[in-house]
């Protein structure tokens, strides 16, 4: 698996990325996979999947594996006899929980959050995020809570332009919710109301420099965690990634800053990003395998959130899943 101090090359892909639109989009889960296989082993794995599925499709995707008739193939791919087992990492993000965490980062003076863009949080911030995420829907109802999160999501997106929403409109909504009762969630929203200057400043920073600054894109912490996992012990990690416009040179530099920050050394363990290059997933079987893993993981995780999880598949996914994933589903 990981060889301390030696260069490691991993292949990565994601599933569920909709840019900074985390609420009200097509998916509720973001998944990012990092795979450490050599090209020949990955190509053999792709050929074996094709042999077992026997579809005439020119390009295989996760949906092929997720069909019920191909369940034995999926169980094999995730199971201990697969070449993938022990050679892949998986970062999951519940998108609603990601947005809640971003809200908390803007209302709490948290050195960890400030250094890592919310990837790692102190005890107070973690506690507030868990409370807000678990109790918000109970306090206001699921639909109103989703509308609140969507309003914040729109406010903090780089693509938010005048007329979609504004700082004034968002905090009018916060004030209304604060007046509707008492309890932990209302207290946290009260803290948010007092943090208006910080929220406004963060929004201006997003709009002024969208190529660098993003508080809402889970791909950035996902790459940080993939490099950290495979570079534990101070090893340099080279990343081969499916083409991603989100990962601008400025954001790649931000990833490097997070990994190099001494304040985060206990989390990043000295891992370093040696290089990041982009390829067409169809041209690299390692990225195809990462695409398979990310795609099936997103569907399995989304089913868990919806209360229709598959116990066998969830158990098979668990060994791959990064413990720093942004996940707070109490059932799973």
Look at residues 40, 95, 81 and name the one whose alpha carbon lies nearest to residue 325. 95
Summarize pLDDT for 67-98 with one digit per residue, the tens: 999 999 999 999 999 999 999 999 999 999 99
Confidence at residue 17, expressed as pLDDT on a 0 to 100 scale:
93
How far apart (Å, rounded) are the C-alpha atoms in residues 96 and 118?
14
Summarize pLDDT for 146-160 with one digit per residue, the tens: 999 999 999 999 876
pLDDT at 162 over 70: no
Average pLDDT over the chain, rounded to an integer: 91
Summarize pLDDT for 4-47 with one digit per residue, the tens: 568 999 999 999 999 899 999 999 999 999 999 999 999 999 99
Confidence at residue 312, expressed as pLDDT on a 0 to 100 scale:
97
How far apart (Å, rounded) are the C-alpha atoms in residues 296 and 283?
21
Is 3.40.50.150 the CATH classification of the domain at 8-93+216-320?
Answer: no
- Mean pLDDT along residues 269-292: 93
DSSP per-residue letters across 69-107 = GGHHHHHHHHSTTSTTTTSEEEEEEEHHHHHHHHHHHHH
- Mean pLDDT along residues 275-284: 92
Confidence at residue 51, expressed as pLDDT on a 0 to 100 scale:
93
pLDDT at 309 over 50: yes
What is the layout of strands, in order, in the sheet containing 29-35? 88-94, 29-35, 8-15, 236-242, 272-279
Using CA atoms of 143, 310, 20, 218 in order, give the dihedral in degrees to the nearest 10.
130
How far apart (Å, rounded) are the C-alpha atoms in residues 208 and 211?
9
- Mean pLDDT along residues 178-198: 93
pTM for this one? 0.93
How far apart (Å, rounded) are the C-alpha atoms in residues 329 and 307?
10
Of all residues in the chain, what percent carry a pLDDT higher than 90?
A: 75
Going by their DSSP bridges, the two strands 88-94 and 8-15 should be labelled as unpaired
Q: 3-state SS string over 156-213?
A: HCCCCCCCCCCHHHHHHHHHHHHCCCCCHHHHHHHHHHHCHHHHHHHHHHHHHCCCCC
Domain range summary for the chain, segments of one domain joined by +: 8-93+216-320, 95-208
Q: Where are any strands of DSSP class E within the chain?
A: 8-15, 29-35, 88-94, 236-242, 272-279
Residues in a beta bridge with 275:
238
Q: How confident is the model at residue 269 (pLDDT cuts 50, 70, 90)?
A: confident
Confidence at residue 1, expressed as pLDDT on a 0 to 100 scale:
47
Going by their DSSP bridges, the two strands 8-15 and 29-35 should be labelled as antiparallel
pLDDT at 3 over 60: no
Summarize pLDDT for 98-117 with one digit per residue, the tens: 999 999 998 887 778 877 87
Confidence at residue 161, expressed as pLDDT on a 0 to 100 scale:
57
- Mean pLDDT along residues 219-240: 93
């Amino acid at each position: 698996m990981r060889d301390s101090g030696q260069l490691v090359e991993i292949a990565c892909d994601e599933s569920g990325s909709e840019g900074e639109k985390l609420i009200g989009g097509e998916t509720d889960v973001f998944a990012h996979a990092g795979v450490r296989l050599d090209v020949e082993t990955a190509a053999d794995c792709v050929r074996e999947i094709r042999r077992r599925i026997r579809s005439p499709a020119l390009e295989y995707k996760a949906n092929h594996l997720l069909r019920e008739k191909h369940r034995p193939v999926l169980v094999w791919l995730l199971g201990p006899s697969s070449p993938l087992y022990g050679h892949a990492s998986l970062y999951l993000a519940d998108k609603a929980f990601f947005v809640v965490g971003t809200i908390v980062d803007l209302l709490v003076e948290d050195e960890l959050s400030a250094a890592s863009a919310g990837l790692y949080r102190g005890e107070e911030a973690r506690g507030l995020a868990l409370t807000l995420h678990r109790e918000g829907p109970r306090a206001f109802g699921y639909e109103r809570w989703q509308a609140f999160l969507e309003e914040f999501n729109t406010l903090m997106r780089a693509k938010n332009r005048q007329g979609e929403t504004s700082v004034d409109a968002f905090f009018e909504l916060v004030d209304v919710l604060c007046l509707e009762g008492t309890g932990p969630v209302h207290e946290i929203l009260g803290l948010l109301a007092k943090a208006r200057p910080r929220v406004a400043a963060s929004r201006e920073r997003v709009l002024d420099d969208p190529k660098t600054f993003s508080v809402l894109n889970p791909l950035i912490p996902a790459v940080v965690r993939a490099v950290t996992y495979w570079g534990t012990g101070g090893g340099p990690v080279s990343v081969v990634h499916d083409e991603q416009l989100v990962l601008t040179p400025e954001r790649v530099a931000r990833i490097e800053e997070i990994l190099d920050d001494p304040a985060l050394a206990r989390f990043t363990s000295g891992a370093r990003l040696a290089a990041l290059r982009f390829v067409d997933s169809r041209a690299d079987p390692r990225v195809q395998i990462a695409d398979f893993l990310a795609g099936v993981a997103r569907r399995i995780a989304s089913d868990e959130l919806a209360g229709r999880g598959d116990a066998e598949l969830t158990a098979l996914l668990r060994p791959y899943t990064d413990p720093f994933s942004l996940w707070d589903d109490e059932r799973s």
